[in-house]
Structure 1
Amino acid sequence: MPIDPTTFIASVATSVAASIFVEQFVKPHVERIKELQATRRELMARIVSLSLSAVVLAEELPKDMDREVRQRINDERTRQGERLRLAVQQLFDDAGRYLAVYAGVQRQFVRDYIMCMQGLMLSTRTRTRNAEIIRELSIPVATVLDPQRQRPWRVIGNLKALRKAQKIMTATHTDQREAED
């Protein structure tokens, strides 16, 4: 059975048009979404990294700990303190990338979080107090920014986490003022 030339040309034209449409419109959109998701995952990984360093710094050591073990833990704390400082500095340096992937309330929240972290590092608080604040802040911040929690049925939990994080960040301002007085 011979192929009708009109049918053949129509199928070729449809294939070409579909390929051009996918390459010009769909593929760039999908790539942009992948970039946004990768940047959001990177921010979440940094938040987790900050919180892990903060946990090491904020934990109290038992009084009856062996002197050698205490020295190793203190050495590790020193390393984690420097790691925390560098991680916050990198977070602040990359703020533009992180702010670009969020909109509205979440963008403002990310900005406030990054500024709070930078403010903690520049403050006169002790390293342990800064670590306690970062540790306390990490769960509500991760809750607010977790893409798996961006579902309508999670809105109440997200709002609670948002309020808690904002309360902690606001308290860092008054906490610092009290320390200066």
Structure 2
Amino acid sequence: GFFIIFEDQFGVGDYITINNFSGLVEEVGLRISKIRDFSGDLHIIPNGEIKTVTNHTRGSMRALVNVGIPYEEDVDRIINVLTQICEDIKKSRNDVIEGPTVLGITDFQDSQVLITIIAKTEPMKQWEVERDIRYRIKKVFDREKITFPYPHTDVTITNIDT
């Protein structure tokens, strides 16, 4: 615990991952550290068992949003709409350090083309920014009559004369 405190590896309020547990640090003591995960569980970890710590709070964070669009949609139109949404977010949010930026098509999946948006945010703001991006996408897609993909099955019935 002394070296954790002395080396400032993490502190109260930091979002960290220790031994497969992720959460917010509630306490750092000489013998134990306590982190609370997002389901509300409190994990009490003996400091002697801590081998690797990932501190997600230090430096800028990354917001990542994947947008699935049906193959039938016009990709250029979608990218233009998403780029405009990103520009609006840049102008309206102070917690976005860089971006958001439309990376473009990042994958072809069974029922959708995947387009990825990425942004650098202030620490602990990445989830809020991701939610805002998704909210704005939904609002604009609804207004522009752009559909989201969903699993469906096409059935063709052929009438065969016997």
Q: Higher relative contact order by CA 8 Å / sep ≥ 6: 1 or 2?
A: 1
Give the structure with the higher percent helix: 1
TM-score, normalising length from structure 1? 0.26
Larger Rg: 1 or 2?
Answer: 1
TM-score, normalising length from structure 2? 0.28
